[in-house]
Each structure stands twice: as C-alpha cells, then as structure tokens.
Amino acid sequence: MSTYELRCRECGKTWASQPRNYCEDCFSPLEITYDYDSIRKTVSHELFASRAPNIWRYRELLPLPAGYQPSLPVGYTPLVSAPRLGEKIGSRRLCIKNDAVCLPTLSFKDRVVAVALANARSFGFDTVACSSTGNLANSVAAQAAREGFKAWIFIPSDLEPAKILGTQVFGAELVRINGSYDHVNRLCSQIADEHRWGFVNVNLRPYYSEGSKTVGYEIAEQLGWRLPDNVVVPMAGGSLITKIKKAFDELVLLGLVDPKPVKFFGAQASGCSPISTAVKQYSTEIEPQRPKTIARSLAIGNPADGPYAIKAITKSGGWSEDVSDTEVVESIQLLAESEGIFTETAGGVTLGVARKLIHQDRILPDETTVLCITGNGLKTTDVLADAYQAETPIAPKLVEFEAYLARKLSKSEIFAGETPALPLASKSTVFAAEA
C-alpha cells in the first residue's frame, strides 16, 4: 500500500499518485502528504545510517514508486563548519551546506530532478521537460540522458553561457525564449496542456519539490540529529525554504529529532525581490516584479510558492532580506577566500543576506546557523570577469621570480599601510594590543 498521496494545499482534497499539480476543484497547488503513522514504525537513525550516503537513504520520506531502484548517488553533500568566514561576519557557529558539489550537475536541483524522474518513468512518460533559469536545465538534461528519457528544456534567452552549454552537452533539446523566466514558465504551462510530457516543474511538480526536503534531512543528520537555530536559504520560486521546513517538521513528528524553534531566513537579490519585499512590508501577498539582477538563477518575478515562503519565514520568527549585485560578487569572493568554496551568484545572495541579518542582530553570534549554498561558481564565472586581471607572464628564471615577488610584496605593504583589509581584522589587532 502506498504511504503517500496528493493533497490540495488549500481545500484539502486528495488524489492517488498521478502526474497532476493543481486541484480540479479550486485550482490551487497540490503537495504530497504521507502516512506518518506507518512510516514512524519503520524509520530510525540506524536505518538511515546503514544506507549509502545519498538522498535515497531517506526513501520512506520521499514519493517514490514501489520497488524503485535508483541509479545515481545524488546528494548527501558536505555540511562544513565555517570558522574563518564566521570570524569575518560575526558568527561563532556557522555552517555551510555545500550543494555546490551536489552530483551529478553541481546544484541542489539534482535532488528534485532525481525524485521527479523516478516518477516520470512509472507514469509512462518517455519525454521529460522543464522551464528553467539554468541549474534545473543542466540537471534535467543530465539525468534524462542517464535514465534514457528524451528532454526538452525551455530557458530565457539571456542565460549564462556555461548553463546553456551545460545543457546542450547532454543532448537535450534546448529552446531559448525571448522573455523572462516568468514568460518561459507560462509558456510551459500551456505546452504541458498540449503534450504528454513529464514537465518536472509543472505536472510533476509535487514530486519534484519533495526532493528539496533532503537538504533538511541531511542538515539534521549531519548536525548529529539536531536542528539548527537558523537556516538561510536563497529564494527563487520560494519552494526550497518551505521544503526544508517541512523536512524539519517531519523529523520532529517522527521523533527523529527533538522539537526546537528554527528560524527560517530567505535571501533574494534586490533586483528580483518579490518575497523579501513582501516580508519586509509585513504583507502576505506577492507583488510580481520584472527581474533585473546578475543572480539569474533566482530571477523569478512571480514566485509560485511565494505566499508559502512568506508564511514559513514569518511564522518561524525569521526574516527576509535582499542584497545588491555588488554585494553578491563581494560575497562570492568572501566565501571563496575564507572557506575555499566557489559558489554561483545565488550563493553570493545567501551569504550577502546572512551578513546583513547578522548586522541587524536577527542572527546572533552563538546560534547555530546554516547557510544553504545551492549552486557552483564555475557556472557563473561571467560575473567575475572584471574582478581579476591576468598578470603579465614572466620568464622561467629564478631571478625573474624574485624580482616579481619583491614587486608584489612592496605593493601589498603599500596597501596594508593605507587601509586595513577587513574591519574585523583591525578590531582584533586592537584587542591584541590592549592585552
């Protein structure tokens, strides 16, 4: 017997598992609900720990067809403490959930696509499709190739070259649309009406979005089956933040973690901030925006899960902020230089917002805070094009290098004399002198 079904998020009507994303009575979105009483009897820390480190270890909590045999080790990315970054931004218990190294395509979208495609097969689709701002395109294309589906991918025409190439290489049909993601998305909802394809974020959306919960399960398990105090999550359509919350709530319900308050903080780019704007205005409704930001993976002006994201944030006692494109680039560099993690623009948004929230005392230094880094910097190198110059090459001679080194050192001494590199570093020097 199946332990899950589809339920309307507004009127509560239920359906057996099928490719459907809206309620036929009230046209509201659907989501998966589970028979938690039966799941509680089977799951345990030991059961999960006995399985391979990937998202399938939580299979009882995912909507998977009976007997599904996964072929890809997706997820279970590192949760690393970030002491150097924490010292710079004012957090003593800072962790990074690093989905920049999620497999197979280096973003958290691999999680959602894996769950969607598991169901696409059992629903009888031979073609899968999506509208995407890039990372989803890469992941659908790659996993479709691996699983033997045909793939149709729809993207706004101005995407980063690496994300376009990283879709085409897998042999997917790539359709570039003149318009924003919101135009692409609307077109896809019309195409999904006409063609019997498995659109991962249209008719397979309830399955797809459940894959995001695995970020939450992993954070809890990697913290030793404890929940953090704060989670900072980037928001595009707003689904991920609600699904991490659902994951934590489920773990509490199943007795796998102790109940505790967790504050959810949503991060957006100022150039596309319909959700953070609503939160900051204490509104429960989304005003759509025309996106204008380098954080193109987050450039959704009319976020489908916006109202649910607002609710998750405000009910938890969290908050939402947004940062400028300049802050996004600075934060990408700060994360890379402090922790050796190269994230894409969405990660710059997350860290930039976290700095702001710490500055606002909404996140306190001794709280356990997890930053969700959801994508890889190698896909958005274009935003760093102006940040670094190629040095003039030198001859392969030791004397040349010594001269080069002398030039470098004298330069850095001059700069050091002018301004301290980081305000916090100069502060700690002051404290050292006092001691």
Partner 1 sequence: MSITVQIPTPFRRLTAGTPTIDCTASNLNDLFAALDQQFPDLKPHLHDEAGEARRFLNIYVNEEDIRFLGGASYAFQDGDEVLLVPSIAGGAN
Nearest to 349 by CA among 417, 307, 285, 298: 298
Q: For tokens 């980081």, name the residue.
A: 422
Cα gap 95→412, rounded to integer Å: 31
The answer to whether 199 contacts partner 1 (rule: CB under 8 A) is yes
Kindly identify the residues of this chain, within the stretch 326-345, that bind partner 1 according to CB under 8 A: none
Cα gap 375→98, rounded to integer Å: 8
CB 358, min distance to partner 1, A = 24
- Of the pair 77, 133, the CB lying nearest partner 1 is at 133
Q: For tokens 């025309």, name the residue.
A: 290
Nearest to 139 by CA among 38, 227, 211, 48: 211
The answer to whether 291 contacts partner 1 (rule: CB under 8 A) is no
> Is residue 177 within 8 Å of 187, Cβ to Cβ?
yes
Q: Strand pairing of 30-34 and 94-98?
A: unpaired
The answer to whether 116 contacts partner 1 (rule: CB under 8 A) is no
Cα gap 345→357, rounded to integer Å: 18
Kindly identify the residues of this chain, within the stretch 141-180, that bind partner 1 according to CB under 8 A: 179
CB 238, min distance to partner 1, A = 6
Binding mask 200-239 for partner 1 (x = CB under 8 A): -xxx-x---x------------------------x-xxxx
> Is residue 325 within 8 Å of 293, Cβ to Cβ?
yes
- Of the pair 170, 199, the CB lying nearest partner 1 is at 199
- Of the pair 191, 253, the CB lying nearest partner 1 is at 191
Interface residue with partner 1, options 185, 230, 273, 338 (CB under 8 A): 185
Supply 130's token pair.
Answer: 């999506």
The answer to whether 23 contacts partner 1 (rule: CB under 8 A) is yes
- For the CA atoms of 131, 135, 137, 138, the dihedral, rounded to the nearest 10 degrees, stands at 180
CB 327, min distance to partner 1, A = 19
- Of the pair 262, 272, the CB lying nearest partner 1 is at 272
Separation of CA 352 from chain center:
15
Footprint on this chain of partner 1 (rule: CB under 8 A): 10, 21-24, 26-29, 107-109, 130-136, 179, 181-183, 185-186, 188-190, 192-193, 199, 201-203, 205, 209, 234, 236-240, 285, 287-288, 290, 297-298, 300, 302-305, 307, 346, 374-375
